[in-house]
A and B are shown apart, each in its own frame.
Chain A
Amino acid sequence: MTTVDEVRGAAPEDRGPRARLGRALQHGGWFVAPFLVVYALFLVWPLVSGLWYSLNETNLAGINTEFIGLDNYREALDDGEMWDALGNTLRFTAMITPLIVLFAFGLALLAHNIRHGKWFWRLAFFAPFLLPSAVLAELWRWLYEPDFGLLNHTINHRVPWLLDGDWAMFSMVLATLWWTVGFSFLLYLAALQSIPGHLYEAAALDGAGPLQRMWHITVPMVRQITGLIVVLQILASLQVFDQIFLINEGGPNNETRPVVQYIIQQGFTGYRIGYASAISYLVFLLVVVVTLARLWLVRNREENVR
């Protein structure tokens, strides 16, 4: 693999201090060093120190720390508010993930099969994804407004979109679907475009109708990307915060408050960074489980193929 020249880098006839410096700079470590410094400072260090904080009663200022072992974790598992917040996050995840998959696939099928105006369909369905969460929140707070909002006016009925706990979670899901479906839509579109056309031609020659072709060719060909979209969506939804916080501050009565908002409130409003870190690690555990489940599924499938 590695030739002598590759290790030394420069040609051997160079001599003198400048050449030696030049040779030293050929070392591969120089390429990765800047990234590793940033990575260590802003990802590894917080990850490790967070673990340490979670074992201490630490406030935001870092004074009065006291080692308390697993007490933060024990407290978190007994904390009803934490469970409510985690439940909200899981409820949100369970609602949004199938909707995103269905809508993204449906919209991609449409955009892929309509012959004209490709750029327009992409623009219309992807544009909301480009909005900052604060803009999304403004637009939907105005649409959801009970008395003068466009939605209630159009259906001529006073729906308590943000005022009632059950409705509020649905409203968050609806706004999020509008906001983020464009990303998965583009993934599906790319997958559809990569299906070789001769598969359809062969199936048509065999007398397969459009629905059969859809079921026996399109669906299996996008199965892999579907798995990817489901996992990406779950991972993103477990961290949901921006839109729920900005539209409704997790209200009414914290009935939509996601666990990330609870973490931030504990850490930044309550100044209990140790406790916040402990809950963070519980969420991290969920993320790791989802990721490992996916790896396991992918491996199983590969073995089945073999």
Chain B
Amino acid sequence: MSAQSLSSPPPSPPAGRPGRPARPGRRPFGVWLRRNAGQLTLTSIGALLAGLWLVPFGWALATSLKPEGDTQKLPLRWLQSNMNLDAYRSVLGEGNIPKWLVNSVIVSSGVTVLTLTVSALAAYGFARTEFRCRRLLFGLTMAGIMVPGTVITAPLFANVRTMGLVDTYWGVILPQVSAPAMVFILYKFFQGVPRELEEAARIDGAGRWRIFGQIVLPLSRPVLAAVAIFTFISSWNNFMWPYLVTTDPDLATLPVGLATVQSSFGVRWAQLMAGALLAALPLLIVFVFFQRQIVRGVAHTGIAGQ
């Protein structure tokens, strides 16, 4: 068993007799142990590493539950009797976190909806229609994948200011919508949609927009979900652009707000940790519910890099 577990996928369970689940407990414990020694070792290493990986979260949680006066008291403790939710209460009550949360939701939803619409249309146009300069324009779009966002930050800011969009939601949202990588991911997918389906609809008199809306889009739901979730995550976590393009604290998104609040909280670590955990919570919840789509989204993004 240990030999197999090192490098191969777990074998599928043997086809058991229906209605009679295998009962390993019947065998002597020693035999069971020997058979599963590999799995036990791997699981313990995994548990150790996962535990280490979760320490920063755990420590933030422990700190956030302490009274402010106890966070910097030696020796440090993970648990103590007078833990409470005061830090959360003051962060939610006095702080601006609810306001930043709303801003983040507005910005990230706006970016996601617009990116998805614009990219899906363009990807379909490039994959399945013919028009003059199509190849040239597609090549130009793909070249954009290579352009690092930081390279254009300074001139982008100057241009956005010329458009009068500094300190507006549009100024935060629109530059994040031009995502050639997403066009590429959707383009690849649309190319794989069988042409026969579209031909059949065309014979029935459906135009391109009907075909796109009623045949191609429904077939593409998984990849659309992956692109949407991935766009949402990167927009939600985007720090640099919102930080540069907004000076009005009322427009700050969660990452920007948190970054600027350090000074105003001073060294009140319990409140800082409470705020950090509250800010982390929405995406962690999203991940628990959409794990499959997110994993697929990562795979797709990787493919875009190829």
- Which residues of A approach B to under 8 Å, CB–CB? 1-2, 5-7, 9-11, 22, 25-32, 34-36, 38-39, 41-47, 49-50, 53, 60, 62, 107, 109-116, 119-128, 130-135, 137-140, 142-143, 147-148, 150, 153, 178, 183, 186-187, 189-190, 192-193, 195, 197, 200-201, 204, 209-211, 213-214, 217-218, 225, 228-229, 231-232, 235, 238-239, 241-242, 246, 260, 263-264, 267-268, 273, 276-277, 280-281, 283-284, 287-288, 291
Within the complex, the shortest CB–CB distance from A242 to chain B, in Å, comes to 5
Of all chain A residues, the one with the shortest Cβ separation from B277 is A135
Cβ of B29 under 8 Å from chain A: no
Contact with A along B59-95 (1 / 0, CB 8 A): 1100100000001101110000000000000000000
Cβ of B178 under 8 Å from chain A: yes
- Contacts A42-B174, A187-B299, A264-B244 given: A50-B280 contact, CB under 8 Å? no
Cβ of B249 under 8 Å from chain A: no
Q: Are A193 and B183 in contact (CB under 8 A)?
A: no
Chain A residues near B272: list those with CB within 8 A. 138, 142
- Contacts A49-B158, A130-B283, A132-B237 given: A115-B10 contact, CB under 8 Å? yes
Partner of B207, one of A9, A133, A264: A9
- Count of CB-CB pairs between chains A and B under 8 Å: 322
- Which residues of B approach A to under 8 Å, CB–CB? 2-11, 39, 42-43, 45-46, 49-50, 53-57, 59-60, 63, 71-72, 74-76, 117-119, 121-122, 124-126, 128-131, 134, 137, 140-141, 144, 146-160, 162-163, 174-175, 177-178, 180, 183, 202, 205, 207-209, 212, 233, 236-237, 239-240, 244, 254-256, 258-259, 262, 269, 272-273, 275-277, 279-280, 283-284, 286-288, 291, 294-295, 298-299, 302, 305-306
Give Cα A226 to B262, complex, Å.
Answer: 38
Q: List 18 A-B contacts (CB under 8 A).
A: A26-B208, A28-B131, A31-B124, A110-B49, A127-B287, A134-B254, A134-B279, A138-B276, A148-B76, A150-B59, A187-B302, A189-B295, A190-B295, A200-B8, A209-B3, A211-B7, A242-B239, A264-B154
Within the complex, the shortest CB–CB distance from A178 to chain B, in Å, comes to 7
Q: Are A113 and B207 in contact (CB under 8 A)?
A: no
Give Cα A207 to B112, complex, Å.
Answer: 52
Within the complex, the shortest CB–CB distance from A190 to chain B, in Å, comes to 5
Partner of B240, one of A42, A50, A242: A242
Chain B residues near A35: list those with CB within 8 A. 118-119, 121-122, 141, 178, 183
Besides A31-B125, A187-B298, 9 more A-B contacts (Cβ < 8 Å) are A32-B126, A36-B141, A42-B160, A115-B39, A143-B59, A197-B8, A210-B5, A267-B153, A280-B153
Within the complex, the shortest CB–CB distance from B211 to chain A, in Å, comes to 10
Partner of B144, one of A6, A39, A120, A190: A39
Give Cα A118 to B171, complex, Å.
Answer: 41
- Contacts A11-B205, A34-B121, A217-B7 given: A2-B276 contact, CB under 8 Å? no
Partner of A28, one of B130, B141, B294: B130
Q: Are A53 and B7 in contact (CB under 8 A)?
A: no
- Contacts A28-B129, A209-B3, A268-B244 given: A186-B298 contact, CB under 8 Å? yes
Give Cα A300 to B126, complex, Å.
Answer: 29
Q: Are B45 and A283 in contact (CB under 8 A)?
A: no
Chain A residues near B258: list those with CB within 8 A. 132, 134-135, 138
Q: Are B159 and A22 in contact (CB under 8 A)?
A: no
Chain A residues near B149: list those with CB within 8 A. 239
Within the complex, the shortest CB–CB distance from A259 to chain B, in Å, comes to 9
- Contacts A9-B207, A204-B4 given: A46-B146 contact, CB under 8 Å? no
Q: Are A47 and B177 in contact (CB under 8 A)?
A: no
Give Cα A156 to B192, complex, Å.
Answer: 58
Q: Are B46 and A127 in contact (CB under 8 A)?
A: no
Partner of A183, one of B152, B256, B298: B298
Q: Are A49 and B8 in contact (CB under 8 A)?
A: no
Chain B residues near A115: list those with CB within 8 A. 10, 39
Of all chain A residues, the one with the shortest Cβ separation from B78 is A150
Give Cα A42 to B165, complex, Å.
Answer: 12
Q: Are B175 and A42 in contact (CB under 8 A)?
A: yes
Of all chain B residues, the one with the shortest Cβ separation from A23 is B207
- Contacts A150-B76, A187-B302 given: A9-B150 contact, CB under 8 Å? no
Q: Are A110 and B151 in contact (CB under 8 A)?
A: no
Give the interface centre of B42, B125, B175 by most chain A CB atoms within 10 Å: B125
